[in-house]
């Protein structure tokens, strides 16, 4: 993920030219246009007094809460303080949140040195979820993705070490469920590489996946399903693995906290229920079968709609879970 340079050159001093005529009056300054996203928001995010840690829910697992990526120009001056060097943005974000979903890896792989650098800039306990490169999932036959999966994992992802969270495999909106092909794809996802345990989660965006056969396949391979809170994406809240993954995508930039307080309260409660091994009764499931009640880690990201206020919403959830 490319980062902008933080070096700012000192302004040059104006040079006066000698002339026998009166100096021309300077042209009136034109107010520069502000980005639309910034114009909507009024208050800056207040950073926490101390770096938050993943919330361990009583009788449950850990909840990791964050945003998608950390390089986003409209966050500067709203989430990031004015004047913060761009090279310090990851460090700052990691001091306010407990996880980040890396999205840039969907478009191109990174180097081992880059992953190692990212890991060195976040505190102990912080987790990165990493979106798998698109060449794995944007294909007609998923069963043929083995080489692409291996190249992606070998690209340096494991350099994140204990900061590595789930690997996210995102399907395109036109990908339909094919039980045999999808089963072969799941067989290609390694549960472990060397000493590194791997967690895999898939995001599907076609309603043909709303079938018990899909849920059964994921449970067979202990692969998670993304719960997508979205106006149009497929919504599946079934538990299929030993962790839960949610992408919250109904934020509102007109609200300082990204979501209304009541909605934040409701989401904090759902995250607790998931962490304690339960299943929220107000989210849609495909298979009515209850899974064994056991503690689970939960990864929740505020992204997409209301992106300018996403960090604020994530921080509000962290407060409610504390």
- Average confidence (pLDDT) over 218-243: 96
Closest CA to 118 of 132, 13, 126: 126
Residue 128 · residue 165 · CB < 8 Å: yes
Where are the chain's structural domains?
60-321
- Average confidence (pLDDT) over 136-162: 97
**Exposure string (b/e) for 143-169, b if CB count within 10 Å is 16 or more?**
bebeebbeebbebbbbbbeebbbbbbb
- Average confidence (pLDDT) over 192-198: 96
- β-pair partners for 55: 63
Dist CA 208 CA 287 (whole Å): 14
> Is the CA virtual torsion 178, 213, 130, 95 positive or negative?
positive
Tell me the pLDDT band of 51, cut-offs 50, 70 and 90.
Answer: confident
Q: What is the pLDDT of residue 44?
A: 62
Residue 302 · residue 251 · CB < 8 Å: yes
Residue 270 · residue 217 · CB < 8 Å: no
- Average confidence (pLDDT) over 175-182: 98
Dist CA 68 CA 130 (whole Å): 10
Q: For 80, what's the count of Cα atoms within 13 Å in the CB-facing half-sphere?
A: 20
Crossing angle for the helix pair 212-221 and 179-188, to the nearest 10 degrees: 20
CA distances from 19 to 13, 15, 24, 26 (A): 19, 13, 10, 16
What are the tens digits of pLDDT across the range 77-127?
A: 999 999 999 999 999 999 999 999 999 999 999 999 999 999 999 999 999
Residue 237 · residue 267 · CB < 8 Å: no
Which one is the CATH code of 60-321: 3.20.20.410, 3.30.70.270, 3.50.50.60, 3.40.50.150?
A: 3.20.20.410
Residue 170 · residue 195 · CB < 8 Å: no
pLDDT above 90 covers a percentage of the chain that reads: 80
Dist CA 137 CA 144 (whole Å): 10
Q: What is the pLDDT of residue 154?
A: 96
Residue 199 · residue 224 · CB < 8 Å: yes
Of 315 and 3, the structure prediction assigns the larger pLDDT to 315
């Amino acid at each position: 993920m490319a980062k902008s340079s933080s070096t700012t050159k000192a302004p040059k001093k104006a040079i006066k030219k000698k002339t026998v005529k009166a100096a021309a009056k300077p042209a009136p300054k034109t107010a520069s246009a502000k980005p639309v996203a910034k114009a909507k928001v009024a208050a800056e995010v207040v950073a926490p007094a101390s770096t938050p840690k993943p919330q361990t829910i009583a009788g449950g697992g850990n909840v990791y809460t964050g945003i998608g990526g950390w390089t986003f120009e409209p966050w500067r001056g709203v989430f990031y303080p004015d004047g913060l060097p761009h090279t310090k943005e990851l460090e700052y974000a990691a001091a306010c949140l407990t996880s980040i979903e890396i999205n840039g890896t969907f478009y191109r792989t990174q180097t081992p040195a880059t992953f190692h650098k990212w890991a060195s800039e976040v505190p102990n306990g912080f987790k990165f979820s990493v979106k798998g490169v698109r060449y794995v999932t944007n294909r007609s036959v998923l069963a043929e993705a083995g080489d692409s999966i291996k190249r992606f994992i070998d690209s340096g992802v494991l350099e994140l070490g204990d900061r590595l969270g789930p690997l996210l495999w995102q399907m395109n909106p036109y990908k339909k469920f094919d039980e045999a092909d999808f089963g072969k794809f799941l067989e290609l996802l390694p549960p472990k590489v060397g000493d590194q345990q791997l967690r895999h989660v898939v995001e599907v965006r076609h309603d043909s996946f709303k079938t018990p056969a899909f849920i059964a396949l994921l449970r067979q391979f202990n692969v998670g399903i993304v719960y997508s809170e979205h106006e149009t994406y497929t919504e599946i809240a079934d538990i299929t693995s030993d962790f839960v993954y949610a992408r919250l995508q109904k934020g509102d930039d007109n609200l300082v906290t990204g979501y209304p307080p009541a909605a934040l309260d409701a989401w904090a409660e759902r995250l607790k229920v998931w962490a304690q091994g339960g299943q929220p009764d107000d989210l849609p499931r495909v298979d009515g079968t209850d899974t064994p009640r056991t503690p689970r880690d939960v990864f929740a990201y505020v992204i997409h709609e209301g992106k300018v206020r996403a960090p604020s919403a994530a921080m509000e959830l962290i407060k409610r879970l504390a």
